[in-house]
């Protein structure tokens, strides 16, 4: 799909309307992270900074809802790579709700769980433009859209338009994907700088994606 990025950036006015200064504001970044890559980290940091969030929590899924061609490796290894990737950032952490719950990782289930566990937090669910396009197919999407604010980030090749309310944050357009990284490893090509060095080490040590 050719990109046609008529994206909006978040304005201070829009943000002022969202913020309740009494509550901690948490970005939730769900993904398969198979493996986590540099774009994930840049997106998380751009959203963290643009929205002035308190923290960003990375949520590796157990079973991605739309499995299709994804060949997700064991969740333990994906979690290990996420932990290694974010170790140097005190504002980032891993949330294991989906891995611990098991089964298909529907975002609706995760958000209802987290809202119950942390009633005084406001959650912002970060999604790339491919996932924004996919939102109408999500499990209980109309209810989910009332529970959480979606934060959209542009992604090369995806038109960003949604009937759901999405707060768009500007982030550098980087055509990096886990699929491409898996393919590169398989073809013996370099993935240096596409993933953090610690993630590359784990991939090599465990002979992942070969
Ligand atoms: N380069 C990117 N720019 C913006 N958002 C991205 C980028 N890569 C991934 N995302 C977003 O990160 C979230 C988690 O993505 P995921 O773990 O599936 O990575 P992926 O690179 O899309 O993987 P795959 O290639 O296996 O589909 C999704 O919301 C996705 O849209
Ligand atoms: O809940 C759903 O129906 C749903 C459908 C597709 C994707 N998601 C979530 O969106 C996030 C990104 O998905 P993915 O497949 O790109 O890794 C991840 O947290 C998924 O659980 C959720």
Kindly report, residue by residue over 98-139, the tens digit of the pLDDT: 999 999 999 999 999 999 999 999 999 999 999 998 999 999
Domain of residue 167, residue span: 23-176
Question: For residue 194, is it within any domain?
Answer: no
**Shortest-distance Cα residue to atom 7 of ligand 2:** 65
Question: For residue 59, is it within any domain?
Answer: yes
- Considering its fold, how many domains does the chain have in total? 1
CATH number, domain at 92? 3.40.50.620
Question: For residue 186, is it within any domain?
Answer: no
Question: For residue 124, is it within any domain?
Answer: yes
Instruction: Report the range of poorest mean pLDDT among 21-30, 67-76, 81-90, 167-176.
Output: 67-76
Predicted ipTM beyond 0.85 = yes
Nearest Cα neighbor of 44 from 144, 169, 134 is 169
Question: For residue 122, is it within any domain?
Answer: yes
Question: For residue 77, is it within any domain?
Answer: yes
pLDDT in tens, 33-70: 999 999 999 999 999 999 999 999 999 999 999 866 45
Question: 2 C-alpha vs ligand 2 centroid, how far in Å?
Answer: 23
pTM over 0.80, yes/no? yes
From the CA of 126, give the closest atom in ligand 1.
29
**How far apart, in Å, are the Cα atoms of 37 and each of 131, 132, 165, 176?**
17, 20, 27, 8
**Residues with C-beta less than 6 Å from any ligand 1 atom:** 31-34, 39-40, 43, 70, 127-128, 130-131, 153, 155, 174, 176-179
Question: For residue 53, is it within any domain?
Answer: yes
Question: For residue 197, is it within any domain?
Answer: no
**Shortest-distance Cα residue to atom 14 of ligand 2:** 31
Rounded CA separation 175/157 (Å): 9
């Amino acid at each position: 799909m050719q990109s046609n990025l008529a994206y909006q950036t978040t304005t201070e006015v829009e943000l002022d309307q969202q913020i309740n200064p009494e509550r901690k504001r948490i970005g939730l970044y769900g993904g398969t992270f198979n493996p986590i890559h540099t774009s994930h980290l840049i997106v998380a940091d751009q959203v963290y900074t643009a929205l002035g969030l308190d923290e960003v929590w990375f949520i590796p899924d157990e079973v991605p809802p739309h499995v299709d061609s994804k060949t997700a490796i064991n969740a333990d290894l994906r979690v290990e790579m996420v932990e290694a990737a974010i170790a140097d950032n005190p504002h980032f952490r891993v949330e294991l709700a989906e891995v611990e719950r098991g089964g298909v990782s529907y975002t609706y289930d995760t958000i209802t769980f987290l809202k119950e566990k942390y009633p005084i937090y406001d959650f912002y669910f970060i999604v790339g433009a491919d996932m924004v396009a996919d939102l109408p197919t999500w499990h209980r999407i109309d209810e989910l859209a009332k529970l959480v604010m979606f934060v959209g980030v542009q992604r090369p090749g995806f038109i960003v338009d949604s009937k759901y309310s999405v707060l768009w944050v500007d982030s550098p357009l980087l055509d990096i994907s886990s699929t491409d990284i898996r393919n590169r490893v398989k073809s013996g090509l370099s993935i240096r700088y596409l993933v953090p060095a610690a993630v590359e080490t784990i991939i090599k040590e465990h002979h992942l994606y070969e």
